[in-house]
Amino acid sequence: MEGSREGIRALGVSLGVLGATTVVQGAVVAVSGSVALLGDALHNAADALTAVPLGIAFLVGRRAANRRYTYGYGRAEDLAGVVVVLVIAVSAVAAAWQAVERLVEPRPVGHLWAVGVAAAVGFAGNEWVARYRIRAGRRIGSAALVADGLHARTDGFASLAVLAAAGGTALGWPGADPAVGLLITVAVGWVLKDAAREVFGRLMDSVDPALVDAVEEVLGGVEGVRGVGPVRVRWVGHRLRVEADIVVDARSSVVAAHGVAVAAEHALLHRIPRLAAATLHPDPEETGGADHHAALAGHRPAVSAPP
């Protein structure tokens, strides 16, 4: 709940900042005719609008699990990440189309000083939003929010490129404005690649291998755990879930084995950031532990220790 609130707060603040930036740039585009600034304004508008599906996803993700969605609604956040990736792609195509059209049919760019000021405003607004979103996204573990922050950062660099376009035009190169528009599109495409890899990695249950190592280290240090079998970690929205096999003394009673599982889960909850729950299955040491469990996979219930 706290992570969702922080995500919604980050989106609301950044939406206001980017919305104001887009309005300023749009007004300058109307009087100057700069296609480079138009591309930057389109990216800013797209970045601002991605706050809507992300905000909806954070709200939906706060709903409690039920018998149909037994893991809850956290995956809505990952689906919103897909929307962010698509919006970045569409804005890049739109900017490229405008730039190519202007290269084929050049038009004069006026009010170059205003274009320069609007570009500086765009850079400042986007860089502030990028840092805010990336910091908040990493703090709560939201890949979608981090991807949105990367998008904003690219828009900031694109705004700096608009400054270069204004300078080139002032020096007498009419093709500087559309050429920079195409460079902006290439830069956005590069960020699109990184954002898509992050978002689709989440959809495929990708995690940092160092996280799996950390889980194994924590479990191995719990008193009563004789060994650690297969460990499975996945993100559900911006929260983690762990499933793992632990090896316990074969002479342990069911109650004692359950106690070890409880201690192991508490250790994980205290030492693994953003962990929502862990399901641990104790295997008796003399039966081969994890190998025994693998042989009987799907034929007996796991012992889950309540938090």
Tokens at 173, concatenated: 């190169």
pLDDT for the residue numbered 108 = 59
For tokens 């796991």, name the residue.
Answer: 302
Helices (H), 75-175: 75-104, 112-140, 143-170
CA 36 to chain centre: 28
The least confident of 81-90, 107-116, 117-126, 238-247 is 107-116
Backbone angles phi, psi at 232, to 5 degrees: -125, 130
Average pLDDT, stretch 252-275?
91
**In this structure, what DSSP letter does residue 226 have?**
-
Query: Which pLDDT tens digit goes with each residue over 267-280?
Result: 999 999 888 889 99
CB 178 within 8 A of CB 103: yes
CA distance 263 to 304: 11
pLDDT for the residue numbered 303 = 42
With CA atoms as reference, report the closest residue to 63 among 76, 46, 78, 44: 76
**Percent of the chain's residues with pLDDT above 90:** 19
CA distance 18 to 54: 15
Query: Which pLDDT tens digit goes with each residue over 134-176?
Result: 888 777 777 777 777 777 777 777 777 777 767 776 777 767 7
User: Is the pLDDT higher at 154 or at 67?
Assistant: 67
User: Is the pLDDT higher at 158 or at 230?
Assistant: 230
pLDDT for the residue numbered 300 = 42
User: Is the pLDDT higher at 102 or at 32?
Assistant: 32
Write down the CATH superfamily of domain 209-295: Cation efflux protein, cytoplasmic domain (3.30.70.1350)
Paired with 235 in beta bridges are 240
Mean pLDDT, all residues of the chain: 78
CA distance 129 to 4: 18
The residue extents of the domains of the chain are: 2-203, 209-295
Query: Which pLDDT tens digit goes with each residue over 32-50?
Result: 777 667 777 777 777 777 7
pLDDT band at 297 (very low <50, low <70, confident <90, very high): very low
pLDDT for the residue numbered 102 = 66
DSSP E strands, the chain = 227-236, 239-248, 275-284
CATH for 2-203 is 1.20.1510.10
